[in-house]
Amino acid sequence: MKLENEIQETTESQAHCRKSHHPEPIKKDLTNRLNRIEGQIRGIKGMIEKDVYCDDIITQLAATQSALNSVAKVLLQGHLKGCVVDRLSEGDEEVLDELLVTIQKLMRK
């Protein structure tokens, strides 16, 4: 657990200095996906305010979670093919520890 905390602290501090470089079509796709998710969240909030049947709300929550997972998959794929490959080619093997922490975060769902 101590090692995991050290890795997480290191990656969080490093994350503040780095930027990703997504191609414009990927940025546009991610932004569109997130805009739809934002709309879904507003819709769920409205459903709760209108006392919609719980099962219907849960169905919408599941769809929203699936949409968020899709965004995470696109980002992870780009991260692996871009950032991770680049850093490994530069000899920076710490990126592997960072990647493990990231995968652990995704698997907590």
Per-residue pLDDT of 38-66, as tens digits, reads: 999 999 999 999 999 999 999 999 999 99
Q: How far apart are CA 106 and CA 76, in angstroms?
A: 10
Count of the separate structural domains present in the chain: 1
Instruction: Please provide the DSSP assignment of 55-103 as one string.
Output: HHHHHHHHHHHHHHHHHHHHHHHHIIIIIIHHHHHTT-THHHHHHHHHH
Give pTM, 2 decimals. Answer: 0.76
Q: Which residues contact 76 (CB under 8 A, 6 or more apart)?
A: 102, 106
Burial 53-63 (b: 16+ CB within 10 A, else e): eeeebeebeee
Work out the percent of the chain whose per-residue pLDDT is above 70. Answer: 83
List, for residues 81-103, the tens digit of each pLDDT value. Answer: 999 999 999 999 999 999 999 99
Average pLDDT over residues 25-43: 97
**CATH assignment of the domain containing 62:** 1.20.58.1000
Q: Tell me which residue range forms the domain holding 64.
A: 2-107
Q: What is the mean pLDDT of the chain?
A: 87
Determine the pLDDT at residue 4: 54
Distance CA 88, CA 81 (A): 11
pLDDT of residue 105: 92
